[in-house]
Structure 1
């Protein structure tokens, strides 16, 4: 089992302005930079290589996510990364239609896995246990977590078949009965594994755990812990999960294809659920819904603005479809956090579904 503590400590010690300068200059190097950003450079009011501080990234404006739905993901990878690129392209959830696509280099996957390895130990999950990864797989990065659990945490990992886009399509079309039938199909797969196999921990979505508690509460009660992401969870839901597990671990995380977070200890008897971005490669701000450039005060609610600052992927000012509270992480952590995340808007054209 690999110890990643030294690596995480090194990342957390980074100065965000120095990190920003290095990453931006890598992506805008005229000879080895990123094709997409070198083309965009001519449209900007400043020379990106003159940027010296993280807060100056606002000069790029909001990231046009629509372009990521049709762009060849290789265009977002610096030419410094040897061609041809080999590896996986990952999709976003596709809630609003054609998904965004990004290519993850080896170092990007290692960064994501190291944070995951570090945090699940802090959360109290034991190594060498059996897990059921009841999440989407295929083009969805969340499914790669099964590999992380096996390789970095000595886990044995079960899985299921799960296509979240189908249930979202059914909901968009108003086919509620069929959507419910598909959700039942997924929860039945989870129940079959839990009933017949020695599973300690379950990774799934809050929506699916709710359905499983309703249909097979005795199977949930046998679990030692659950790790949840993919749909939002309220403090009341988290408390109900605790009751269903009878004292087992309940961890709710917040992540997407572009960037992940670490769940911090809940506060105020579970009423506040904070998260720390995977700094310095990922930073988050909570901004005014009507002015993406204005960061709200601590304790205030706004839209999540995410920035990816990886050597191999630069995505500034991604406006997420999420509302959150700006969270002060204090002296212990080097950046702001977000708390009590929920959808910015849930409508038939963009349903949350079961992932």
Structure 2
């Protein structure tokens, strides 16, 4: 709190916003539970200047990797700034999680993930460079697919997904791809193509999925039948998290797919959306995310996802399982499309 709200180190955005708060974060925010006192300012990230999000403590030439935007699922995109120190911390933590899941080191990676303004593309590239050897990418535009679906052009959206798989087939055929990173909806289409399933099982040693939900039945089918000899794990993340949570290692096929964040920097709470009170362990609720790091402060952010609340692995906050989107969020219908 001292870093983000001191005039010499805080970001212009939070220093201005502090003037509107009815409490002093530097003296009154002392515990994780206190973060609930902050208003949810996520919507304001649609309009704030990117440079106003960088803490002044980074100096006049901060090592900024890029400015990234949300997928636009709920209206105009929100923006965040990714600094090098946070990227390195997040990727190192993720790489350790991949090791625990049996992902091979030094492999070539293929990613069917959004790039451009989407932060997942940057995390893919960095993961491929550090855990693997090199990364091959198939660009994916989730905003266009959402527009197609919203306009009732489901056939066109399906054709776009097939276009992605055609490109992936070229890479898989000609390159020694050991790790495949893919969204669940595109993975579902891939699993329906016997030729691609055979190709993946022949070459790929590990699959990392992330983005939209993966229902428990599909996850069980992939792990036990379609890709039974391939390491398989997921990520749960969003732009506003400035990263992702990793699937807990050691889960059986019968366990719920549980995600743990990089606590205490990123923490989850699962709450009743009507009261904002925590639900009991094992119960469903809406996910609240707080990000508190040197790079970024975004506390008390009500996400567009429902989840089962589970105990964390000794960190702050909750673990979450069996993620699913709400039907509407911020007065917009939630359309996930290919992501």
Summarize the Cα distance change of 1:335–1:319 in structure 2 as closer, same or farther, 3 Å threshold. closer
TM-score by length of 2: 0.91
Kept in 1, the 8 Å contact 2:104–2:206? The answer is no
Matched, 1:220 2:200: yes
Summarize the Cα distance change of 1:145–1:299 in structure 2 as closer, same or farther, 3 Å threshold. same
Look up the match of 1:316. 299
The 5 Å alignment of 1:119-130 reads: 119-130=97-108
CA drift of 1:266 comes to 6.2
Segments of structure 2 that go 5 or more residues without pairing to the other structure are: none
CA drift of 1:165 comes to 1.0
Q: 1:230 aligns with which of 194, 211, 221?
A: 211
How far apart, in 2, do the equivalents of 1:194 and 1:80 lie? 45
Summarize the Cα distance change of 1:126–1:267 in structure 2 as closer, same or farther, 3 Å threshold. closer
Look up the match of 2:325. 343
How far apart, in 2, do the equivalents of 1:343 and 1:219 lie? 32
Q: 2:74 aligns with which of 96, 110, 113?
A: 96
Segments of structure 1 that go 5 or more residues without pairing to the other structure are: 1-23
The 5 Å alignment of 1:144-223 reads: 144-215=122-193, 216-222=196-202, 223=204
Q: Deviations over 1:36-64 (max 9, x none)?
A: 11112122111111121121111112x23
Look up the match of 1:20. none
Q: 1:44 aligns with which of 21, 29, 48?
A: 21
Q: Secondary structure at the match of 2:337?
A: coil
Kept in 2, the 8 Å contact 1:328–1:336? The answer is yes
Structure with more strand by fraction:
2
Q: Deviations over 1:12-50 (max 9, x none)?
A: xxxxxxxxxxxx111110233221111121221111111
Q: Secondary structure at the match of 2:236?
A: coil
Kept in 2, the 8 Å contact 1:266–1:273? The answer is no
The 5 Å alignment of 1:73-84 reads: 73-84=50-61
How far apart, in 2, do the equivalents of 1:171 and 1:227 lie? 25
How far apart, in 2, do the equivalents of 1:65 and 1:84 lie? 26
- The number of equivalent residue pairs is 329
Look up the match of 1:16. none
Matched, 1:296 2:279: yes
Look up the match of 1:69. 46
Q: Secondary structure at the match of 2:37?
A: helix
How far apart, in 2, do the equivalents of 1:329 and 1:54 lie? 14
Summarize the Cα distance change of 1:154–1:246 in structure 2 as closer, same or farther, 3 Å threshold. closer
TM-score by length of 1: 0.88
Matched, 1:256 2:267: no
